[in-house]
Amino acid sequence: ANYKRVACPDGVHTATNDACCVFFSLADELQSSVFKNICFEEAHHALRLSFQDAIGFSLQDGPTSGGGADGSIIIFENTELKDPANSGIDVAINDIAFLLQNFDVTAGDLIQFAAAVGITNCPGYPRLEFFAGRPNGTVAAKSGLIPLPQDDVDEIFVRMQDAGFAPTELASLLAAHSTGHSNTLIDNRIQVPFDTTPFTFDSQFYLEVLLKGNETLPPSSGEAGAQVPNALAAQGEMRLQSDFAVSIHPQTACAWQSFVNNQELMQSEFAAVMAKVAVVGQDKSSMIDCSEAVPMPVPPVNKATSFPAGTGPEILQLVCNSPFPSLTTDPGQPTTIPECPDGDTNVNDCPPMKKRLKRRFN
């Protein structure tokens, strides 16, 4: 189609709609001052924040109760951060909230847009759509609406359904944990990865969660769901109990398994369900499609999913009956999981985040 484009006031961009101009400038600013065009913690935080804001919504409470992807997690930060499920989210808010001073966008638009922009720096993510026009939230989300890893998996499914998501849609969304760390769950440790490739959106996550564990990083000792094979624990990997529970639940096991070594499916399902996350509680028909302002993602790494060295098909725990893909096993000793997006294994050497990381966590 041949759309007529308008010139934006910044003199640089053109847009299909005036309302999208600000998002072109915002994308540039996010990339230069927040993400630095790198798939590092800021990008991971921004994605987590988009989910935590959106999921604070309940169909049961009725349409007038507010909530969803409305920026309330920033606007009512003092209230919402008391929810234990928001542990660590203060950092995500600090990363981007300052932009509200210079850009005429709502908090809800900022959160969902920042997530879409941030993940374009991580190889393998799809390009998400972005619709603009979320009014600022007027009430804080109720505490307790955000799932915790230790919650019973059936309760997590009920909670997700009450926000409009099927169990299999949660399985699709959890791909986000392929680029993630915990900064709060393990004693005296930050940046504890959920898979061996924490800076790449790939199906190593879906594979590694399926491996029978025998070791837990403290303090979660004894919780079978949180255990990972020694070869991975030795490298500092952890598993969220809820990820494991979803991977073996009869309602989701086959969906989970279908993502292993299937980058295209992972991408398309993640993009489809994130499009729903981004507008929870909103009237999408009154919003403006500004997807054009989301940068092109960096391409996927195109490496087949493989068993990390020291693991193998013999420790797979499979519940789904469909055939499991045949994968190679990495040879040799377990390799160290990178702590930096450029592959460096020492977080103190990660350019250019080094200084900020130290300041934040010392």
C-alpha span between 202 and 215 (Å, rounded): 24
What separation in angstroms does the CA of 47 have from each of 42, 44, 219, 303?
9, 5, 26, 24
C-alpha span between 93 and 86 (Å, rounded): 11
The residues in 180-239 that bind Ca ion, with binding defined as CB under 5 A, are 195, 197, 200, 202, 204
Q: Is there binding between residue 178 and Ca ion (CB under 5 A)?
A: yes
Strands 181-182 and 288-289, sheet pairing: unpaired
CB of 205 to Ca ion, least distance (A): 5
**Residue 134 binding: pick among Ca ion, ligand HEM, none (C-beta 5-8 Å cut-off by kind):** none
Is the CB of 5 or the CB of 360 nearer to ligand HEM? Answer: 360
**Residue 184 binding: pick among ligand HEM, Ca ion, none (C-beta 5-8 Å cut-off by kind):** ligand HEM
Q: Is 197 labelled a binding residue?
A: yes
Residues 180/356/103/146 CA torsion (nearest 10 deg): 30
Is the CB of 75 or the CB of 277 nearer to ligand HEM? Answer: 277
Q: Is 152 labelled a binding residue?
A: no
CB of 243 to ligand HEM, least distance (A): 8
Task: List the beta bridge partners of residue 193.
Answer: 181
Amino acid (one-letter) located at 79: T
Is the CB of 13 or the CB of 239 nearer to ligand HEM? Answer: 239
Is the CB of 242 or the CB of 258 nearer to ligand HEM? Answer: 242
Task: List the beta bridge partners of residue 132.
Answer: 288
Sign of CA dihedral 172, 263, 52, 55: negative
Sign of CA dihedral 276, 278, 357, 186: negative
* Binding residues for ligand HEM (CB under 6 A): 41, 44-45, 47-48, 51, 88, 147-149, 156, 173-174, 176-177, 180-185, 240, 242
C-alpha span between 222 and 253 (Å, rounded): 23
Is the CB of 117 or the CB of 240 nearer to ligand HEM? Answer: 240
Q: Is 349 labelled a binding residue?
A: no
Q: Is 252 labelled a binding residue?
A: no
Residue 31: exposed, middle, or buried by beta-carbon count in 10 A (0-12, 13-18, 19+)?
A: middle
For 37-63, give the secondary structure using H, E and C: CCCCHHHHHHHHHHHHHHCCCCCCCCH
Shortest-Cβ-distance residue relative to ligand HEM: 180
Sign of CA dihedral 96, 263, 184, 143: positive
**Residue 195 binding: pick among ligand HEM, Ca ion, none (C-beta 5-8 Å cut-off by kind):** Ca ion
The residues in 301-360 that bind Ca ion, with binding defined as CB under 5 A, are none
**Residue 253 binding: pick among Ca ion, ligand HEM, none (C-beta 5-8 Å cut-off by kind):** none
C-alpha span between 103 and 185 (Å, rounded): 34
First-to-last alpha carbon distance for the chain, in angstroms, is: 53
**Residue 334 binding: pick among Ca ion, ligand HEM, none (C-beta 5-8 Å cut-off by kind):** none
Task: List the beta bridge partners of residue 316.
Answer: 211
CB of 175 to Ca ion, least distance (A): 9
Is the CB of 24 or the CB of 270 nearer to ligand HEM? Answer: 270
Q: Is there binding between residue 121 and Ca ion (CB under 5 A)?
A: no
Is the CB of 21 or the CB of 93 nearer to ligand HEM? Answer: 93
Q: Is there binding between residue 112 and Ca ion (CB under 5 A)?
A: no
Q: Is 162 labelled a binding residue?
A: no
**Token digits for 301?**
């790494």
Question: What 3-state class would DSSP assign to 81?
Answer: coil
Is the CB of 173 or the CB of 290 nearer to ligand HEM? Answer: 173
C-alpha span between 258 and 348 (Å, rounded): 37
Q: Is 202 labelled a binding residue?
A: yes
Q: Is 305 labelled a binding residue?
A: no
CB of 250 to ligand HEM, least distance (A): 17
Which residues contact Ca ion by CB under 5 A? 178, 195, 197, 200, 202, 204
In the annotated binding site, the residues are: 53, 68, 70, 72, 177-178, 195, 197, 202
Binding site members for Ca(2+): 53, 68, 70, 72, 178, 195, 197, 202
